[in-house]
Amino acid sequence: MSIHHRLFAATYDTLLKPVERRELAPRRARLLAGLQGTVVDVGSGTGANLSHFRHAKRVVLVEPDPYMRARLSTRLGESPVPVTVSDADAEHLPLADGEADAVVFTLVLCSVPDQRLALLEARRVLKPGGTLAVLEHVRRPGRAGRWQDRLDGLWGRFVAPGCHLNRNTVAAIAEAGFDFTEVSRFEPPAVALATPVIAGTAVLRPGDR
């Protein structure tokens, strides 16, 4: 891991604090509070989701970045439910087939090395009827999206390590066999370049398991 990763982990909460308070935290609460059973939080980062898991039986926090994971570990007491921490990555989740009731991706599908494999891995560990919950920034259509394409490399190198501005995450979720049961879009002004953001839940398409 580079010094950039260490600095990004150290400043992540401070940088996102305004948009987290106004926009993201309320949407995390609506998205996550009702999840039950075994929940897998993929790319847990510094722990922004921790306090919102109100009804889960247990939560598996998956975070491969050691600097993010160190900060996450200091916040485990914020969780109202039992949690465990894993250093696995999104493409290799530490659960058996069909073990999870819900898989959560919040601001992580933009940066996983292989988005398709991460979504197929979520599909593998989900029980029939399980929930995929996502809060992700996605590529804009048209001219604005083309600007995201141009700036993508610079963004991922100098602003947010490994992050991509221009991933068509909605299409990738559909291609992995999921259908949205609900989804909304919003545009936090504080991070205008990395918008729109989608928030929603999806289930595996019948016959696609």
Average pLDDT, the chain: 93
Over the stretch 67-76, which tens digit does the pLDDT of each residue have?
999 999 999 9
Alpha carbons 17 and 77: distance in angstroms, whole number: 20
Confidence at residue 45, expressed as pLDDT on a 0 to 100 scale: 95
For 12-26, 40-54, 103-117, which range has the lowest pLDDT when averaged over its residues?
12-26
Alpha carbons 179 and 203: distance in angstroms, whole number: 6
State the pTM of this model: 0.94
pLDDT(29) > 60: yes
Please, what sign has the CA dihedral across residues 126, 20, 198, 91?
Answer: negative
Confidence at residue 209, expressed as pLDDT on a 0 to 100 scale: 61
Confidence at residue 65, expressed as pLDDT on a 0 to 100 scale: 94
Alpha carbons 61 and 79: distance in angstroms, whole number: 11
Residue 15: band (very low, low, confident or very high) from pLDDT cuts 50, 70, 90: confident
Stretch 145-149: mean pLDDT: 90
For the chain, the straight-line distance linking the first and the last C-alpha, in angstroms and rounded, comes to 36
Stretch 146-157: mean pLDDT: 89
Quick check: 165 and 134 in contact, CB under 8 A? no
* Residue located via tokens 């059973």: 37
3-204: what CATH class?
alpha beta
Alpha carbons 140 and 147: distance in angstroms, whole number: 9
Over the stretch 82-118, which tens digit does the pLDDT of each residue have?
999 999 999 999 999 999 999 999 999 999 999 999 9
Stretch 51-64: mean pLDDT: 97
How long a stretch of residues is the chain?
209
Over the stretch 122-135, which tens digit does the pLDDT of each residue have?
999 999 999 999 99
Which amino acid is located at 137 in the chain? H
% of residues, the chain, pLDDT over 90: 75
DSSP characters over the chain: --HHHHHHHHHHHHHHHHHIIIIIHHHHHHHHTT--EEEEEET-TTTTTGGG--SEEEEEEE---HHHHHHHHTTGGG-SS-EEEE---TTS-SS-TT-EEEEEEES-TTT-S-HHHHHHHHHHHEEEEEEEEEEEE-PPSHHHHHHHHHHHHHIIIIISTT--S---HHHHHHHTTEEEEEEEEE--GGGGGG--EEEEEEEEPTT--
